[in-house]
Chain A
Amino acid sequence: MISFEDVSVTYPDEERPALDHVDLKIGEGELALVIGPTGAGKSTLLRSVNGLVPHFSGGRLTGRVLVEGRSTADHRPRDLADVVGFVGQDPDASFVADIVEDELAYGMENLGLGAATMRRRVEDVLDILNLHPLRQRTITTLSGGQRQRVAIGAVLTAAPRLLVLDEPTSSLDPISAEEVLAALSRLVHDQGVTILVAEHRLERIVHAADVIVYVPASGAGVRSGPPAEILAHSAVAPPIVRLAQLAGWDPVPLSVRDARRVAPGLRSRLSDRPPDDDRPGPGGPALATVRRLSARYGRLLALEDVDLALGAGEVTAVMGRNGAGKSTLLRYLVGLRAPQQGTVTVADRQPSSLRPAQAARIVGLVPQDPASLLGADTVGAECADADHDADLPAGATRATLERLMPELSDDIHPRDLSEGQRLALALAIVLAPAPPLILLDEPTRGLDYTAKARLTALLRTLAAEGHAIVIATHDVELVAEAADRVVVLADGELISDGPTRDVVCHSPGLAPQVARILAPAPWLTVAEVASALPTAGPVGDRSHV
């Protein structure tokens, strides 16, 4: 289906190749999962399948990429549109029409298909992706998961034999991600479509994969093989694999179902020791309070009568579906919006009434896209600007960054940083004025397991220093590792609020993998299990590097 023959890609003005001598074969009808650390070249690999690299991106590609016998050297992406369907990272940036049905038809119109064929295929795709109730809707009114399915449908109508997806679930809540993955596995099983997909959150998808393509950090030595085999020796592994390494399960189970079937032994070993609760309960005195806060966007109710108190030294996770009001709550806490109904108090002040420089001293927010905070040409200039903005002594931001990520040199352009490094820089800018309350919106988007483990450690350190931390996230594994307390929002209402273990362990949508495998015992993380086992063998907890 796809074959890479000794492929190297070098982008213009880069010395190091992004992909180095890659040999790869993906067979007909397989679901191939591309994994690897951030910035390793996964996107480059995906984009060279349909010729976007090098035809669209520029740069130099040596070797040969063949898709169904067509070489990308003499076929442009548009010439491969009937063979390869490509869905990029941000579905919103890919839409051409405003109505779902027109968007689905766009690719077929370009191919010049007949009216009867187009009608039939649109109906088929509406059924396969369960988009039928949405066919006449305006795309901007859809939820994140629905939009992602429309983006997939828009390429499926051209009836490609191969579908390439770049992080299709990274911005979706667990249930929407489930929806998208269910659609993908239906395509593989019922339609025989070959799928190549890159994803960081392996726990969501690894059980469906037939093959894993591992792209190491250098872009050299790309290898592929059966998931269990590759994951057993990979630097990136989901909790289920680390638990298997800990318990010595062989072969490594990849789905919760398989793991539960081999887990009775582990469960009985753990039965007499309940998880050791090292996390403090409700933290110190309330640092920030939200009282009866309601908010609406036009006629849409975003928050309704929310009451919340955030204590010093506490990490609180705010969870809920896409559009449940998580980001809105953070915007009120940081003072980007002034409450019309209800009050928001942080350190006895109302953040929305303060001047920006004052507000930054009591509360800081790292937005969903940390890059939007950055504007200077180099890391050094960025730090200097931040000192100036917040009236800090020169070097304060740099000193903070030094703590988070010492290896970042001053003269790199922020655009050239990896996702994790960019997050660290944004966090340093927000942390430098030492606000007691720190908010993070969806911080793990695009982060690999190593970067995530570093973030977790950092959040725990900050909490221990007395900061109150709020994370709005869909990432159940991050919540299991880092949060003391979980607050769940649904359609703007606060529906549960309690210690992490109580809230997530028995929730079908929010439970982490370890909890699912070891249920009914409320274990959250591999590290907890490891410390509880009497003879902790080789602890596969390599994420805490």
Chain B
Amino acid sequence: MTALMPRRLATLRVAPLHPVAWWVWAVLLAAAAARITNPICLGLILAVDGWVVVARRPQSTWARSFSTLLRLGAFVVVIRVVFQALFGLRTPGHTLFTIPSVALPSWLAGVSLGGPVTADALAGAACQGLRLAAILGCVGAANALVSPFRLLRCVPAALYEVAVAVTVAVSFTPQVITSLGQVRDARRLRGRSVSGVAGVRGLAVPVLEGALERSLALAASMDSRGFGRRAVSVGRQRLASAATLAGLLGLAVGVYGVLDSGAPSALGLPVIAVGAVLVLAGLVAASYGGRSRYRPDRWSGREWFTVAVGAAALATVVVVGRNNAASLTMPIYPLSLPAVPLVAVAGILVAALPSIVAPVPVDRTPR
């Protein structure tokens, strides 16, 4: 019986974690990262991302996006350090080496070119780069854990058309890559060179032609399967979409008004209220859209838990920042080892718990 259990369970359908829960978790973690330059904490955040991705990503093409964004992050760190060495402000510290400096005209007073490069400045730049890399890591984790298709299913009905356009665009990219490969092969088979300007020009037309043909086939398939057939009038649908979009815009402006102390006070809560009303109106108007939804994602305890641990990470970082801001930064003047803020570290580690609590994606079970 015990030997049979795992296999039996594997064939049962386990509802995957709500896509929005993963994204909220990732955004909260990214928000925590944005408040830190302490490389120990940033490294931990990246480790948490990686750990959860390895434990819970599904077996789709998108699951690879985590490593892509990690590579992008590494690139950002390198660029940040190189720019610091070339153009950064000259500050005192341990000079590593000196780049010949160039005198710049007076209207470029804030920028310097060349000069002594200090270990302190480089360390500071690297940590700032690392902060960006950690934020990218969080985005990559969310991308790897949730396929864009599933996220789009959560889009409100009023934005359905937009969502479909995005879906098609998203599935278009891998197709273009496939047909690019085919056309390159075909050129080699004909004995044509595949590099150089002529090579690129010869590729573009057939690739686009192929992609266009596939898109037409997809459109025919969608039309045959009832896409765009609905009871509600087109005018009403447009109105609902417009209201939802305007409402979302209002919400964004309102949040900005609340968060930015310099913004006029009228931009704050009143705009948020108007935005919320518009979004609600749009959603209500579109809910009679004649479309239904198969197995809408449920929000249950596991989702609350995932969001809560993300929030815990952010909260501990915020609290530590209030009480002992220095422990979250990289000490560079003078350069010394970063502190280990135990409370923040604990908060970040808690955010790794979804790797146990979230359900294992079904398609990872062995075939």
Q: Which residue of A lies closest to B58 (CB)?
A: A138
Chain A contacts for B223, CB-based, 8 A? 52, 55-56, 76-78
- Of the listed stretches B20-28, B191-199, B236-244, chain A binds B191-199
* A93 CA to B187 CA, complexed, in Å: 24
Q: Mark A342-361, 1 if CB is under 8 A from B, else 0.
A: 00000000000001111111
* A198 CA to B194 CA, complexed, in Å: 38
* A520 CA to B51 CA, complexed, in Å: 60
Q: Mark B209-227, 1 if CB is under 8 A from A, else 0.
A: 0100010011111111111
Q: Does any Cβ of B come within 8 Å of A336's Cβ?
A: yes
Q: Does any Cβ of A come within 8 Å of B206's Cβ?
A: yes
Q: Which residue of A lies closest to B187 (CB)?
A: A356
Q: Does any Cβ of B come within 8 Å of A495's Cβ?
A: no
Chain B contacts for A357, CB-based, 8 A? 191-193
Q: Does any Cβ of A come within 8 Å of B8's Cβ?
A: no
Task: Select which of B218, B289, B363 is within 8 A of A96 by beta carbon.
Answer: B218
| Interface pair A94/B221, CB less than 8 Å apart | yes
Chain B contacts for A389, CB-based, 8 A? 190-192
Chain B contacts for A55, CB-based, 8 A? 223
Within 8 A of A (CB), among B277-304: 289-295
Q: Which residue of B lies closest to A390 (CB)?
A: B191
- Of the listed stretches A169-177, A305-313, A362-370, A534-542, chain B binds A362-370
* A369 CA to B213 CA, complexed, in Å: 14
Give the one of B60, B225, B289, B292 with max A CB within 10 A.
B225
Within 8 A of A (CB), among B257-313: 289-295
Q: Which residue of B lies closest to A91 (CB)?
A: B221
Q: How large is the interface on A (under 10, 10 to 19, 20 to 34, 35 or more residues)?
A: 35 or more
Within 8 A of B (CB), among A369-390: 369, 372-373, 375, 385-386, 389-390
* Also in contact, A433 and B294, with CB within 8 A (given A52-B224, A96-B218, A372-B186): no
Chain A contacts for B94, CB-based, 8 A? none
* A84 CA to B205 CA, complexed, in Å: 35
Closest Cβ–Cβ distance, residue A143 to chain B (whole Å):
11
- Of the listed stretches A6-14, A129-137, A219-227, A462-470, chain B binds A129-137
Chain B contacts for A393, CB-based, 8 A? none
Chain A contacts for B295, CB-based, 8 A? 101, 105, 115, 119
* Also in contact, A111 and B229, with CB within 8 A (given A360-B190, A429-B190): yes
Closest Cβ–Cβ distance, residue A491 to chain B (whole Å):
13
* A321 CA to B328 CA, complexed, in Å: 58
Q: Which residue of A lies closest to B179 (CB)?
A: A372
| Interface pair B191/A360, CB less than 8 Å apart | yes
Q: Mark B151-181, 1 if CB is under 8 A from A, else 0.
A: 0010000000000000100010000000000
Q: Which residue of B lies closest to A139 (CB)?
A: B60
Task: Select which of B13, B206, B218, B290 is within 8 A of A372 by beta carbon.
Answer: B206
User: How many chain B residues have a CB neighbour from A under 8 Å?
Assistant: 54
* Also in contact, A96 and B13, with CB within 8 A (given A356-B193, A367-B185): no
* A364 CA to B188 CA, complexed, in Å: 10
Chain B contacts for A115, CB-based, 8 A? 292-295
Task: Select which of B60, B187, B225, B228 is within 8 A of A138 by beta carbon.
Answer: B60
* Also in contact, A88 and B217, with CB within 8 A (given A76-B223, A78-B229, A375-B202): yes
| Interface pair B293/A94, CB less than 8 Å apart | no
| Interface pair A50/B224, CB less than 8 Å apart | yes
| Interface pair A114/B292, CB less than 8 Å apart | yes
Chain A contacts for B292, CB-based, 8 A? 108-109, 111-115, 118
Within 8 A of B (CB), among A65-118: 76-82, 84-86, 88-90, 93-99, 101-102, 105-115, 118
| Interface pair A88/B220, CB less than 8 Å apart | yes
Closest Cβ–Cβ distance, residue A14 to chain B (whole Å):
18
Chain A contacts for B363, CB-based, 8 A? 99, 136-138, 141
Q: Which residue of B lies closest to A122 (CB)?
A: B294
Q: Does any Cβ of A come within 8 Å of B11's Cβ?
A: yes
* A158 CA to B221 CA, complexed, in Å: 13
Closest Cβ–Cβ distance, residue B194 to chain A (whole Å):
7
| Interface pair A367/B182, CB less than 8 Å apart | yes
* A122 CA to B13 CA, complexed, in Å: 13
Q: Does any Cβ of A come within 8 Å of B189's Cβ?
A: yes
Chain B contacts for A373, CB-based, 8 A? 186, 189-190
Q: Which residue of A lies closest to B362 (CB)?
A: A136
Chain A contacts for B187, CB-based, 8 A? 356
Chain A contacts for B293, CB-based, 8 A? 109, 115
| Interface pair B192/A356, CB less than 8 Å apart | yes
Closest Cβ–Cβ distance, residue B39 to chain A (whole Å):
33
* Also in contact, A154 and B149, with CB within 8 A (given A93-B218, A109-B294): no
| Interface pair A112/B231, CB less than 8 Å apart | yes
Task: Select which of B147, B190, B202, B226 is within 8 A of A390 by beta carbon.
Answer: B190
Within 8 A of A (CB), among B7-61: 11, 13, 58-61
Q: Which residue of B lies closest to A80 (CB)?
A: B224
| Interface pair A118/B294, CB less than 8 Å apart | yes
* A84 CA to B231 CA, complexed, in Å: 20
Q: Does any Cβ of B come within 8 Å of A140's Cβ?
A: yes
Q: Which residue of B lies closest to A140 (CB)?
A: B61
| Interface pair B291/A109, CB less than 8 Å apart | yes
Q: Which residue of B lies closest to A47 (CB)?
A: B220
| Interface pair A81/B224, CB less than 8 Å apart | yes
Q: Does any Cβ of B come within 8 Å of A334's Cβ?
A: yes
Closest Cβ–Cβ distance, residue A429 to chain B (whole Å):
6
Q: Does any Cβ of A come within 8 Å of B230's Cβ?
A: yes
Q: Does any Cβ of B come within 8 Å of A430's Cβ?
A: yes
Query: Can you list 10 pairs linking A and B with CB atoms under 8 Å apart?
Result: A78-B225, A81-B226, A86-B224, A96-B222, A105-B295, A114-B292, A138-B59, A356-B188, A356-B194, A390-B191
The interface of chain B, by Cβ under 8 A from chain A, is 11, 13, 58-61, 147, 149-150, 153, 167, 171, 182-183, 185-194, 202, 205-206, 210, 214, 217-231, 289-295, 361-363
Beyond contacts A118-B294, A138-B59: 7 other A-B pairs, Cβ-Cβ < 8 A, are A55-B223, A93-B221, A96-B171, A98-B171, A115-B293, A356-B187, A372-B183
